[in-house]
Amino acid sequence: MERIGRQEIIDVHCHCFTGSGQTEIVTRGLAGLREAGVILLAVMGLVNPDLDAQEVWQLIPAGFENLGGPLFNEAAELLEFTRQSDSMLFPMLDTRMLHGQSQAAIEQLFRLGFRGIKGLYLPDDANDLSLSSIPATFGISLKQYLKQEWEIFAFAEANELPVLYHMDANRYGDMMRAILDDFPRLRINFPHFGIGRKAFSQILDTYPNAFTDIAYMRPHIQDNPASYADFISHYQTRVCFGTDALLYQPEIVLNYIELVRSLKLPAEVETLLFSGNPRRFLGLSA
Ligand SMILES: [Zn+2]
């Protein structure tokens, strides 16, 4: 792949789904990505204290093959990959399978090296991913679920941790506003253009601490490149490079790099997307 200059690329949205059995594939993949200019990948790592090997799939969208352990307890292996990666990975704790004493569990994991938080807003069965709701999965009330999510946001804001939070602005726009009103200093990325660009643009217009990413949107962007290029240019300080790649799928990251270059964005906008906005979202110095 042709590269223009030494452009730095940061992917804010990958998932682990990988274990120590894939160490060689991961190491080789990261070396290839480094060649292509990728300096950092934020990788979401799941922990699962309660669910069995069938139940976990109620909280995982279809189409992602897991090569890691069947119970999705990825923390130890992701932190080990991070140590081996020469600082190329930025591990973020995926909290979707935590409930109950989430605060204490999270604090313990952060002492081990996690640097950000991932969540998924699943208050009912009508979410865009067709997943089970958290209240139904764990037998808790909606009120308990919201209290738990708010504790996570408060922890992230107090510790200046970035939060990647999958949430549909079309369906849950009011709740999105409630989060942003209550946590004005929280750096939060609602990925996939907040699921709906029209609804989400009102959020971006109102809240300067809200970010988004292009992860999983490649087919949509390819179908309508001019419209997405316009959106990215309009919100040029808010859209981050992200891919939804699993840690053993470096080719997906390369596909997304090519996709961004194919948009022929103004150079400064492309740089913001590839590294400027990811740095601000993750809280890294320029
Ligand atoms: Zn994702």
pLDDT tens for 75-127 read: 999 999 999 999 899 999 999 998 876 677 788 889 999 999 999 999 998 88
Give the whole-angstrom CA distance, residue 105 versus residue 108: 5
CA 41–ligand 1 middle distance (angstroms): 13
CA of 62 to the centre of ligand 1 (A): 12
d(Cα 137, Cα 22) in Å, to the nearest integer?
30
Span from the CA of 180 to the centroid of ligand 1 (angstroms): 21
Whole-number Å distance, alpha carbon 196 to ligand 1 midpoint, is 16
In this structure, the number of other CB atoms found within 10 A of the CB of residue 17 comes to 23
Alpha-carbon span 196 to 187, nearest angstrom: 20
**Cα(244) to centroid of ligand 1, in Å?**
5
| Alpha helices per DSSP H over the chain | 23-35, 75-84, 102-111, 134-138, 142-158, 169-182, 191-194, 197-206, 218-223, 225-234, 250-262, 267-271, 277-282
CB 259 within 8 A of CB 218: yes
Q: Is residue 131 part of a domain?
A: yes
Instruction: Report the CATH number that the domain containing residue 206 is assigned in CATH.
Output: 3.20.20.140
pLDDT score, position 2: 47
Taking the complete model, does pTM exceed 0.85, yes or no? yes
For residues 15-28, average pLDDT = 96
Q: pLDDT confidence of 23, banded at 50, 70, 90? A: very high
Confidence check: pLDDT of 228 > 60: yes
Give residue for tokens 């029209």. 198
Q: What are the residues whose beta carbons fall under 8 Å from the beta carbon of 44, sequence distance 6 or more?
A: 13, 14, 15, 16, 92, 93, 94, 118, 164
Q: For all residues of the chain together, what is the average pLDDT?
A: 94
Share of the chain above pLDDT 90, in %: 88
Q: Is 116 part of any domain?
A: yes
> Greatest CA span in the chain, whole angstroms?
53
Contact 211, 190 (CB under 8 A): yes
Does residue 4 lie in a domain region?
no
Q: Look up the domain containing 206 and give its range.
A: 9-282
pLDDT of residue 1 exceeding 50: no
Token reading at 197: 């660009």
Q: How much of the chain, in percent, has pLDDT values that exceed 70?
A: 97
What are the tens digits of pLDDT across the range 181-214?
Answer: 999 999 999 999 999 999 999 999 999 999 999 9
Q: How many domains does the chain have?
A: 1
Task: Please tell me the number of Cα atoms within 13 Å of 112 on its side-chain side.
Answer: 17
Banded model confidence at residue 56, pLDDT cuts 50, 70, 90:
very high
Q: 3 lies in a domain?
A: no
Answer yes or no: is pLDDT of 4 > 80.
no
Question: Do the domain assignments include residue 2?
Answer: no
Q: How far does the centroid of ligand 1 lie from the alpha carbon of residue 183, in Å?
A: 22
Residue 217 resides in a domain? yes
Question: Is residue 197 in a domain?
Answer: yes
Query: How much distance in Å is there from the Cα of 267 to the middle of ligand 1?
Result: 27
pLDDT in tens, 232-269: 999 999 999 999 999 999 999 999 999 999 999 999 99
